[in-house]
Amino acid sequence: MLVGRVQAFRKHTLFRVYNGRVSESPRRPTIALAGGGHANLYTLRRTGELVGRGFDVVLIDPAEHLHYSGMETGVLSGSHEPGENRIDIRCLVERGGGRFVRGRVAEVLYRERALVLEDGLIVPYDAVSFCVGSGTPARDGAIPVKPIANLERVRETLLAPVPDAPRVLVVGGGAAGCEVAANVVGLLRGGKMTLVEAEPDLLPTSPRAARRVMLERLRGPGVEVVLGQNANLQPGAAVLRDGTKIEADLVLAATGVSPPGLFRRSRLATGDDGALWVNRHLQSPNDAGIFGGGDAVAFRGARLPQFGVFAVRQGPVLYHNLQAVLWDEPLRPYKPQNHYLYVLDLGDGTGLAIYGPLTWRGRLALRIKHHIDKRFVKEFS
Ligand SMILES: Cc1cc2nc3c(=O)[nH]c(=O)nc-3n(C[C@H](O)[C@H](O)[C@H](O)COP(=O)(O)OP(=O)(O)OC[C@H]3O[C@@H](n4cnc5c(N)ncnc54)[C@H](O)[C@@H]3O)c2cc1C
């Protein structure tokens, strides 16, 4: 039925999306950017070059701004201003002569080379790069830490004038849960926070020294860390495996991320969890014109660590391959880095830097992080 809709809507859609260009002949090939996530930023910034080379560029995203994740916990704690980490993706595409379409891709009709948006709009493409990120399932009133912009809501809630000091529960003690918890500590104002992790240790995939530092940071007045317990979420509470009930005014879910259902729905090849399967050229095996990067893809079928640093490194490869496939030129392979640096903001003026087996905590680590992050965001302003 959707295929029929494509035929019926194609002309109408071309008018809506490419208003003013319908009569151009021959048609300019369209490069679509589905989601303005970290891996598509490189291409977005070069929209003008693509338009100059004869492509139409269209960005589809429900939001006009991307919240740069490296700085979001700083926005939560107040060390960065709200807005300091926002990248105006609409401006990036429009400044280069491309189009911004507000919407969410719901399905890909890859045989027709068309994207169906949630509102029914259909956007044809010749090549498309998916960078739609991942989400944390939200259940029973818990606020998921992904999309990352949710953390701004958390700050507002914690700073709102209420008679009672807040009780906060963070579920999940991986990098995201720990970093969020460390930055909530300073907003408790006499309240309480509990962090529950199912594994026997925090940061289960990090070096032992990093786990020790994080545990030290999260042990203090009003803060409790519960390890080795599964939390069963209920509205306003969690029940642990041993029957303990932890009540909270604010429950934050940091229980891992999963890709959107759109690739499975579209019958594209996916990894086990529904992430878009891409080969070493970040290309789907179903359609040579489909590429993808960031949290939403399974690289050669397997998930890479879900860090923005991987997405950012994929950007230049996507930019090259989107054009190469339309010019029938050789594609460039993507090679994931073996080691990567990540610095967790501990919310007390120090950072915890982790690089492979190496760990370092200090004020300088956080200063370096702020410097790198601010320089990155500035590149896109
Ligand atoms: C608390 C926390 C802290 C983190 N800190 C760091 C850090 O310091 N360093 C680091 O490297 N990583 C960090 N990460 C991980 C990082 O956030 C992700 O790896 C990164 O955001 C993935 O980028 P992405 O491009 O795949 O997606 P995103 O950056 O999430 O972007 C996805 C984009 O797609 C849009 N979109 C979503 N669905 C659709 C759709 N159906 N159609 C069209 N558009 C859509 C969204 O609006 C958004 O603009 C952190 C994560 C969390 C939760």
Indicate whether 1 pLDDT > 60.
no
Indicate whether 25 pLDDT > 70.
no
Q: Is residue 107 part of a domain?
A: yes
For residue 35, report the distance from its CA to the centre of ligand 1, in Å.
10
Per-residue pLDDT, 256:
87
264-317 per-position pLDDT tens digit: 999 999 999 999 999 999 999 999 999 999 999 999 999 999 999 999 999 999
Q: Are residues 184 and 49 in the same domain?
A: no
56-76 per-position pLDDT tens digit: 999 999 999 999 999 999 999
Q: Is residue 165 part of a domain?
A: yes
76-88 per-position pLDDT tens digit: 999 999 899 999 9
Q: Are residues 126 and 7 in the same domain?
A: yes
Q: Are residues 193 and 229 in the same domain?
A: yes
Ligand 1 nearest atom to the CA of residue 262, by list position: 41
Q: Are 129 and 292 in contact (CB under 8 A)?
A: yes
Average pLDDT on 352-380 reads 96
Q: Are residues 207 and 302 in the same domain?
A: no
The CB density around residue 110, as the number of other CB atoms within 10 Å, is 18
Residue 73's closest CA among 181, 162, 228, 166? 181
Q: Are residues 108 and 63 in the same domain?
A: yes
State how far the Cα of 294 lies from the Cα of 309, in Å rounded to an integer.
Answer: 9
Per-residue tokens: 184:
């909530």
For residue 25, report the distance from its CA to the centre of ligand 1, in Å.
38
Q: Are 76 and 155 in contact (CB under 8 A)?
A: yes
Ligand 1 nearest atom to the CA of residue 373, by list position: 8
Average pLDDT, the chain: 91
Q: Are residues 14 and 129 in the same domain?
A: yes
Q: Could you give the strand order of the β-sheet that contains 250-253, starting from the edge strand earlier in sequence?
A: 143-144, 250-253, 167-171, 192-197, 223-227
* 5 — pLDDT class (breaks 50, 70, 90): very low
Domain residue limits at 44:
2-134+258-327
For residue 380, report the distance from its CA to the centre of ligand 1, in Å.
16
For residue 86, report the distance from its CA to the centre of ligand 1, in Å.
12
Which residues' Cβ are closer than 6 Å to ligand 1?
Answer: 34-39, 60-63, 66, 69-70, 72-73, 104-105, 131-133, 145-146, 148, 176, 179-180, 260, 262, 294-296, 306-309, 311, 342
* 242 — pLDDT class (breaks 50, 70, 90): confident
Residue nearest atom 8 of ligand 1, based on CA coordinates: 70
Per-residue pLDDT, 124:
97
Indicate whether 350 pLDDT > 70.
yes
Q: Is residue 38 part of a domain?
A: yes
Per-residue pLDDT, 57:
98
Q: Is residue 374 part of a domain?
A: no
Indicate whether 321 pLDDT > 80.
yes
> Of 291, 312, 327, which residue is a domain's last?
327
Per-residue pLDDT, 26:
65
CATH number, domain of 200, equals: 3.50.50.60
Indicate whether 18 pLDDT > 70.
no
Q: Are residues 6 and 113 in the same domain?
A: yes
* 141 — pLDDT class (breaks 50, 70, 90): confident
Per-residue tokens: 146:
């992904």
Q: Is residue 361 part of a domain?
A: no
Q: Per the structure, how many domains does the chain have?
A: 2
Q: Are residues 122 and 179 in the same domain?
A: no
State how far the Cα of 177 lies from the Cα of 205, in Å rounded to an integer.
Answer: 13
Per DSSP bridges, beta strands 297-299 and 114-117 are unpaired
Q: Are residues 182 and 231 in the same domain?
A: yes
> Of 256, 280, 311, which residue is a domain's last?
256
Q: Are residues 9 and 106 in the same domain?
A: yes
Q: Are residues 181 and 45 in the same domain?
A: no
List, as one string, the DSSP characters of 37-78. Answer: -GGGHHHHHTHHHHHHTT-EEEEEES-SEEE-HHHHHHHHHT
Indicate whether 46 pLDDT > 60.
yes
97-132 per-position pLDDT tens digit: 999 999 999 999 999 999 999 999 999 999 999 999
Indicate whether 231 pLDDT > 50.
yes
Per-residue pLDDT, 24:
43
Q: Of 1-15, 110-124, 139-153, which one has max mean pLDDT?
A: 110-124
* 21 — pLDDT class (breaks 50, 70, 90): very low
Q: Are 268 and 286 in contact (CB under 8 A)?
A: yes
Q: Are residues 269 and 242 in the same domain?
A: no
> Of 223, 256, 289, which residue is a domain's last?
256
